[in-house]
Structure 1
């Protein structure tokens, strides 16, 4: 099963994803993209670009949770879980 890496400080998002059956792993500060099986990375958005465009790290989409509800984040994550 593919998992979602979630940055620290996003406990409500992490809990919501887990409640919906997502496998959630804590994002490691050094290299989150090195975690095998991660299909998306969810960040707080504190350092996102002005347009809010998702970036890709080593072919893993990065989703900014800034301004999104846990449900919104879940729906975005679902686009990347296959």
Structure 2
């Protein structure tokens, strides 16, 4: 699967997520909230904004690997050649 998120959709808003499943397990995630029209939103208890959600692995080892992947991605962003795209 490929997911494309365009620079115009990006925000700097991150949201921690915790969900308890019907089996009693608790899952953690980090969401990157995407820009969307304010006309789509209702009260805070009905947050239907678009987001990319990264569900976190259970083990500390795999969480560290994921964190390192995000750090490498940040380095690639900083080192990428200048583009003429839109902000």
TM-score scaled by length of structure 2: 0.26
Q: Which structure's CA Rg is the greater one?
A: 2
| Structure showing the higher helix proportion among its residues | 2
Q: Using CA pairs below 8 Å that are at least 6 residues apart, which structure has the higher relative contact order?
A: 1
